[in-house]
Structure formats: structure tokens, C-alpha cells
Amino acid sequence: MLRLSFASLAFVVSCCYVLSSTSYGHAQGLQIFGREVVPFTITDNSSQNWSPDQLVGPPDTLKSGDIVTAWASLTRDGQDEWILCEFEKPTAAAQVTVYETYNPGAISKVTVFGANEQEVVIFDGTDPVPTSAPRGIANFPVDVEFEVTKVKIDLASKTVSGWNEIDAVGLRLWNGETVWTSKATASSTYARNYVTPASNGITELKAEIKALRAALERLESQLLSLDPSPK
Ligand SMILES: [Ca+2]
Ligand SMILES: [Ca+2]
């Protein structure tokens, strides 16, 4: 009975964890025998969930929350973070617009860059979006003599609790139009914790389950050897 129940339990735990991780949100690492199981998610483009690529293009995270279409740092508050957003062509910008979609209020500095190594800090202070808000759009006026090619946004992530997720960054033009980030990098990303739902990811997951079952069988064997009850 012990053999059956233990093996079954292990498999059920593994399957439940996989299923529980297939939705929005940071599935927190499940500790099994001291080893953190890598979260697994099944959505389109899931290898890029929360990656800097999620900063590219117009806003697509339509509500507040821990949602995969926004960039998220690797840790909640482990270090201060930054994102660097590039634009397809130099732009005469009137304003930098930042869509904060989860735990807003962490923007501490905004720097704009030009094609000829120009660099100007246009904001250094407290994020205009309050930390109490569920989400918000932060606007920073640009008053520089050059066309903007890149924007760097520094985030006081250590200070503002939780993942400070950003959905999109745009440059508002003087005519009211907005151009959106075409390429982005970041100080860190939660995305690297994720595996794709493609064959590689499934193979890795199967290997993970196999290793867990083997570990459980070894433990079961050890427990049986210690069992003083008559066979
Ligand atoms: Ca934070
Ligand atoms: Ca986005």
C-alpha cells in the first residue's frame, strides 16, 4: 500500500503543479525535496512571457495585474532595475509615456539618448503614478535639442514592493501621435525562468517528472526498509 500511495502522490503533485502553472501570474517555485521546480506555462509565445520583448509595440496589457504581456524583472525586489527602449528612427519627442501595469510607482529616473551619443536625464525623482494605484500611465516631458533614439527608465524596484511591470513605452510627438518601442533590453527578466511549450519544454518537463519519481522511489525504498511492521 505504501508503494502505491507514495508513487501516486508524487505523480499527482507533479501534474497538479503543471496544471496550476498554466495561467497568468508568477507561479511561485514549488519546493519538492529542497529543489525548486521550474514554472511552466502554456500560452502563445510563452518563452517570451514577461521578457523585454513585451515592451515592444503599443500597449497590449489591458488591465492591472501580473500579466505575461508586460515586462517583469527576475525578482520582485532583489535589486533596482532598468529598461532600455529603442525606437525605429530618431524622433522629435515631446514626451515619454510609460504604461505601468503592475505595482506602479517605481520609476526613479528617465534618460533620453540621441544618435550622436547625446544623453540627457529628463526626470529624476518620484514616479508620478502613486504606488497605491493598480496601474497608471506616467508622462515625462522631453525638452532636448536632439531627436530621441533610446529611452532608459530606471526603477526603484527594491523600494516599491512586488514586480513593477511595464507594458509599453512610447514617444509622444508634437502632433499628438505616439511611436512605440521597437526593441528593448532590461537589467533582468522573469522570462528566463520559463520554458517554451514546444518540444524542448515538454521534454524538459518529462525529464523533471521522471527525476522526481525516481527520487520518490528511492525515498519510498528507504522508508520501507525502516518500516518495522510485519510484511
Ligand atoms: Ca519591486
Ligand atoms: Ca506589452
Domain ranges of the chain: 2-41+194-226, 50-191
> Among 231, 144, 194, which residue's Cα sits nearest to residue 24?
194
- Centre of ligand 2 to C-alpha 75, Å, is 19
Look at domain 50-191 and name its CATH class.
mainly beta
- Centre of ligand 1 to C-alpha 200, Å, is 31
Instruction: Considering only CA atoms, give the Rg of the chain.
Output: 23
Give the pTM. 0.67
Q: What ligand has the least distance to the C-alpha of 102?
A: 1
- Centre of ligand 2 to C-alpha 191, Å, is 13
- Centre of ligand 2 to C-alpha 226, Å, is 55
pLDDT in tens, the chain (231 residues): 344 444 444 444 444 344 333 334 554 333 333 434 444 444 444 558 999 999 999 999 999 999 999 999 999 999 999 999 999 999 999 999 999 999 999 999 999 999 999 999 999 999 999 999 999 999 999 999 999 999 999 999 999 999 999 999 999 999 999 999 999 999 999 996 544 445 456 666 777 888 888 889 888 888 888 866 654
Q: What ligand has the least distance to the C-alpha of 61?
A: 2
